[in-house]
Amino acid sequence: MSAIASTTASAGLGDLAAAPGRTGIVADKPEKRRGPLHYVGVTISAALLLFVAIVALLVVAIPAATGSTPYTVLTSSMEPNYPPGTLVVIKPVAAANIAKGDIITYQLHSGEPEVVTHRVIAVGTNDAGERVFTTKGDNNDIADAAPVREVQVRGELWYAVPLIGWVNNVINGGTRAVIIPIAAVVLFGYAGWMFVGSVLDRRRRRRAAAEQA
């Protein structure tokens, strides 16, 4: 009897060895592990996406929604608080609301595009009864040569962001009409890709867990 039992057991083992594809045996696939470079890439991509979103918000969205205008500081006259490259967003203001200590952006000559952003150091009235403002750069030793008339004022400083002004220069004017739609498509496309990838990854994990159960 023991010989028969031994022979039967040996035959069963031989059948299993000869047919590894039998349904009773399932080979586990090793889970693919993601290396550190993958997570570094994801972190950099997320940081870049966040940076582009913040720039778009500060340079385009908020000014457009509030009727404000972004300008770039090009000289050192307002250092140290507003060095060259600073983005200054100027919101409209009534001349009657401008006071000493405010920072305003004004046209050097009425009706011309060239502007200056300086601090008001005195408020007065000219011979025509119009309010005028004496201005000076924080880093300048003397006041600006001519008083600023109401018609020259473009607005007062609302907020400023260091260095972003250079980005504003790049996407200013006609370039903005091209870059902004492209950036929007890229942002939404990237966000969609990340969302779909996350959903598919969760489904794969659930399927793998169900197969192992």
Domain boundaries, the chain: 67-164
Question: Can you tell me the distance from the alpha carbon of 138 to that of 140, in angstroms, rounded to the nearest whole number?
Answer: 6
3-state secondary structure 196-210: HHHHHHHHHHHHHHH
In degrees and rounded to multiples of 5, residue 96 shows phi and psi of -65, -20
Q: Is pLDDT above 70 for 166?
A: yes
Interstrand relation of 69-72 and 87-91 (parallel, antiparallel or unpaired): antiparallel
For 35, 41, 45, the CA distances from 157, given in Å and listed in that order, are 47, 38, 33
In degrees and rounded to multiples of 5, residue 148 shows phi and psi of -95, 125
Burial label for 145, CB within 10 Å (0-12, 13-18, 19+), is exposed
For residue 68 the two structure tokens come to 């404000």
Report the chain's mean pLDDT, rounded to a whole number.
78
Find residue 89's DSSP bridge partners: 70, 159
Q: Which CATH code of 1.10.287.3610, 2.10.109.10, 3.30.2270.10, 2.40.30.10 fits the domain covering 67-164?
A: 2.10.109.10
As a whole-number percent, the residues of the chain with pLDDT over 90 amount to 38
Mean pLDDT over 140-153 rounds to: 95
Q: Over the stretch 18-45, which tens digit does the pLDDT of each residue have?
A: 445 444 444 555 555 666 776 677 778 7
